[in-house]
């Protein structure tokens, strides 16, 4: 099998934490041929998706984890699987790559399905499940945001297309900075803002649940550092061992069919207390932490699912 990874510079990833690296490692163990290219090296020409990159091997060496071959220009339709794995921001650059990868849909399996990655932004997709999420509004109107804060008091404000915890702010009952924050955000961006009722349970952690083809395979808990409300590991949050509660399973059972229908094979959802807060389809993480804590090889489960889908894909 030939597999291509569209991702950020592979030589910069942490081999002990990066989920894309773990997916590539598992693929190599299965004897798959691996190719890597960066989003800037993706081209659409005469209806063909073309990429400039490197075939590579995982070496396992401490100082050189990846061995890159020479630069090659390839047609992605010649690959069995293409992974869409660059990190957000979810901007027009990101979105354009999903349009280009769409041309492969009759030839190559793209994971996750780029059409639905484009149309399922994490902070918008959850709104399809109002019974699972905390009170939330998405607005660019200061009057709407003021009304939401008056109703709920202690709230979280964050950019709609932000990632990694960037720009997330808590405005508690006595905070008088809503208008200033609104002016700051809208001064440099045309995007709406997300306002959400603050969940104090976040102090105990923000649970990341890994789903493979819509089914939960395990979870890790991300605990914020003292004095922080953000539990993202990008901003210092610590991953700890946890399990799945009955409520977690109910959430997964509710959203699972939509994920399967839309070709979202590898998904990470965020749960705080009893509430679903995000459905991450762009470039979810947590595979290596889950494997260390629980011995769950989610990367293997993902490739098993892909193998099954490829069989159906070929038959189709």
CATH number, residue 91: 3.40.50.20
**Active-site residue among 118, 158, 207, 262?**
158
Domain endpoint, select from 156, 173, 198: 198
308 assigned to some structural domain: no
Query: Residue 311: inside a domain, yes or no?
Result: no
Instruction: Say whether both 146 and 208 belong to one domain.
Output: no
Q: How confident is the model at residue 228 (pLDDT cuts 50, 70, 90)?
A: confident
* 175 shares a domain with 93: no
Is 149 noted as a catalytic residue in this protein? Answer: no
What per-residue confidence (pLDDT) applies to 149?
A: 97
pLDDT at 224: 87
- For the stretch 160-197, pLDDT in tens is 887 777 789 999 999 999 999 999 999 988 999 999 99
- Contact in structure between 99 and 117 (CB atoms under 8 Å): no
> Is residue 126 included in any domain, yes or no?
no
pTM beyond cutoff 0.75: yes
Query: Considering its fold, how many domains does the chain have in total?
Result: 3
SS3 (DSSP) at 293: helix
Assess whether 280 carries a catalytic annotation.
yes
What is the chain's percent helix, strand, coil content, to nearest 5?
35, 30, 35
Would the pLDDT of 316 be above 50?
Answer: no
Residue 292 is a catalytic residue:
no
Per the annotation, the verdict on 204 as an active-site residue is no
Residue 103 has pLDDT above 50, yes or no: yes
pLDDT at 313: 67
pLDDT tops 90 at residue 106: no
* pLDDT in the model for residue 235: 66
Predicted confidence (pLDDT) per residue in 277-305, tens digit: 999 999 999 999 999 999 999 999 999 99
pLDDT at res. 136: 97
Share of the chain above pLDDT 70, in %: 97
Residue 312 lies in a domain: no
Residue 127 domain-assigned (yes or no): no
**Rama region for 263: left / alpha / beta (φ>0; ψ in -120 to 50; rest):** left
Give yes or no: residues 156 and 178 share one domain. yes
158 among known catalytic residues: yes
Catalytic member of 85, 123, 197, 262: 123
Category of 123 on φ-ψ map: left (φ > 0), alpha (ψ -120 to 50) or beta: alpha
pLDDT digits (tens, 9 = 90+) for 129-155: 999 999 999 999 999 999 999 999 999
Looking up residue 249, the CATH number of its domain turns out to be: 3.30.470.20
At 147, which CATH number? 3.30.1490.20
Mean pLDDT over 234-260 rounds to 93
Residue 119 lies in a domain: no
Does residue 314 surpass a pLDDT of 70?
no
Residues 59 and 139 in one domain: no
Answer yes or no: is 292 within a domain. yes
Claim to verify: residue 183 and residue 217 sit in the same structural domain: no
Hey, how many other C-beta atoms are within 10 angstroms of the C-beta on 45? 9
Q: Which domain holds residue 222?
A: 201-303
Contacts of 54 (CB under 8 A, 6+ apart): 35, 36, 37, 68, 69, 70, 71, 72
Q: Out of 54, 85, 114, pick the residue that ends a domain.
A: 114
> Catalytic one among 22, 85, 207, 222?
222
CA distance 112 to 82: 9
| Residue 315, pLDDT score | 47
- Minimum mean pLDDT among 114-128, 150-164, 199-213, 229-243: which range? 229-243
Does residue 17 form part of some domain?
A: yes
- Residue at a domain's end among 180, 198, 216: 198
Q: Is 270 a catalytic residue?
A: yes
């Amino acid at each position: 099998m030939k597999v291509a990874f569209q991702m950020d510079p592979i030589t910069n990833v942490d081999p002990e934490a990066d989920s894309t690296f773990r997916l590539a490692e598992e693929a190599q163990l299965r004897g798959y041929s691996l190719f890597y290219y960066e989003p800037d090296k993706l081209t659409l020409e005469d209806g063909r998706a073309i990429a400039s990159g490197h075939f590579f091997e995982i070496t396992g060496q401490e100082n050189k984890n990846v061995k890159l071959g020479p630069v090659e220009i390839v047609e992605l339709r010649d690959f069995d699987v293409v992974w869409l794995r660059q990190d957000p921001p979810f901007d027009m650059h990101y979105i354009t790559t999903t349009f280009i990868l769409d041309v492969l849909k009759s030839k190559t399996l793209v994971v996750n399905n780029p059409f639905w990655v484009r149309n399922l932004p994490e902070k918008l997709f959850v709104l399809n499940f109002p019974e699972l999420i905390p009170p939330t509004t998405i607005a660019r109107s200061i009057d709407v945001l003021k009304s939401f804060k008056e109703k709920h008091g202690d709230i979280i404000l964050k950019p709609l297309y932000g990632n990694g915890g960037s720009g997330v702010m808590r405005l508690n009952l006595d905070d008088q900075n809503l208008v200033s924050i609104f002016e700051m955000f809208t001064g440099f961006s045309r995007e709406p803002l997300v306002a959400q009722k603050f969940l104090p349970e976040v102090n105990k952690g923000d649970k990341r649940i890994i789903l493979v083809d819509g089914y939960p395979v395990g979870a890790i808990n991300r605990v914020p550092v003292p004095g922080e409300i953000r539990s993202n590991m990008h901003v210092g949050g610590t991953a700890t061992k946890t399990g799945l509660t009955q409520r977690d399973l109910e959430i997964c059972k509710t959203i699972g069919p939509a994920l399967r229908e839309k070709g979202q094979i590898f998904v990470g959802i965020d749960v705080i207390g009893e509430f679903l807060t995000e459905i991450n389809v762009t470039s979810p993480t947590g595979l290596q932490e889950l494997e260390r804590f629980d011995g769950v090889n989610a990367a293997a489960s993902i490739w098993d699912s892909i193998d099954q889908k490829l069989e159906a894909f070929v038959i189709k």
